Copies of this chain bind each other. A is one copy, B any other.
Amino acid sequence: MSAAIGASEAAIGGRVMLGELDRFCRAALAAVGADAPTVDAAARAMLHGTRHGVDSHGVRLLPHYVTVLNEGRVNRRPTLAVSRENGATASLDADHAHGALAAYVGMERATEIAAANGIGAVSIRNSSHFGPAGAFALAAAEKGMIGVVLCNSDSFVRLHDGAARFHGTNPIACAVPFAGERPWLLDMATSAVPYNRVQLYRSLGRELPEAVASDGAGRDTTDAEAVEMLAPVGAAFGFKGAGLAGMVEIFSAILSGMAPGFDILPMGGPDLATPRGLGAFVMAVRPDAFVGREVFEAGMRRYVEGLRASPPRPGSRVMAPGDREWAEAARREATGAPVDPETMKEFQELAKRYGLASPAIEIGGT
């Protein structure tokens, strides 16, 4: 007993097996009163992030999700409803569900539509933070379809010539299935770097790369401590990153009747009780609606093999989008995922509060 309290007071990080993390996420979400579909979707999305090395969108989000389910921002028992079905499109009112539930349900509907129509697009309204966009694109790929996911978020990225936060990190995800391999998988923010990179460099005392972040006046800075906003991807050609962020904003927020990122409540609070009203856009495309399955498979094979055979720059290695993630997933499935000390401490607090067993650390230290 005293040992357990001791561990809670001075938590250390370590590697934890994925199954153990999944168990703990589900237990904590259920403990806060989330219904079974919410528990399942939120855990599945977080494990996608953690499994593939996208730790910013992995299990470290659990304490935040528990808080917003508790405080009321996110509906623990939502009733999701599809409306406005127009042949190959639908609108999904997520009833302020956890964003992962909204996105999985939306993509499920998109794949059903695409099965009959070749393509299916679903606009999602009244949603919330969904975690890793790639998780929902992958859900389409697991059914043999191309999945595309777009979502905006609260303002944290300046415009190309801007000096204030405007767009969110507005991700674009695309998953393309092909035979004999895990899918081609792109999951990218339209900002130059993710904010967690800034946080990491702060804690390490390292200088940021040039032209990825700005101070409060919009001036470029490499001082992680001074960062007040991110730059759009593209450096001197950041109008491209800002333009892509705008496309994401229009498809996810405007097309769903939700507010643009600069009008939504920040993810981090202080208000954790009011629903944020996020939008998202998910699309499934059936390759064999356009071309014979064998032709598509041969084309993907030729393309990806050509990519992997493209000569690298000295000291580098070319990889297809997803290659790094699949390799990391294999490692983590075998040896567990690193959980940083701060997240482990929060897990132990959750365990204590809800009477759960803390995640068992496989190997100490991270």
Which A residues contact B (CB, under 8 angstroms)?
84, 86-89, 91, 116-121, 123, 146, 158-164, 166, 172, 174, 176, 184, 186, 188, 190, 192-193, 209-212, 218-219, 233-237, 239-241, 243-244, 246-247, 249-251, 253-260, 262-263, 285-287, 289-292, 295-296, 299-300, 302-303, 306-307, 310-314, 316-321
Contacts and interface: CB of A to CB of B under 8 A. Distances in A.
A37 to B, nearest CB: 23
Contacts of A310: 158-159, 162-164, 166
A293 B180 CA distance: 44
Contacts of A239: 188, 321
Specify how many copies of this chain sit in the oligomer. 2
A267 to B, nearest CB: 19
Contacts of A116: 87
A184 B246 contact: yes
B89 A289 contact: yes
Given A246-B184, A296-B255, A303-B254, A237 B192 contact: yes
A207 to B, nearest CB: 13
Given A290-B91, A306-B260, A233 B237 contact: yes
A263 B307 CA distance: 12
A302 B264 CA distance: 13
Given A160-B318, A161-B317, A161-B319, 11 more contacts: A86-B118, A86-B289, A89-B286, A159-B310, A162-B312, A172-B244, A188-B243, A212-B236, A235-B236, A257-B296, A260-B306
Contacts of A307: 159, 166, 246
Contacts of A313: 161-163, 218-219
A118 B255 CA distance: 12
Nearest to A322: B243
B290 A256 contact: yes
Contact of A295 (B211, B249, B257): B257
Contacts of A84: 289-291
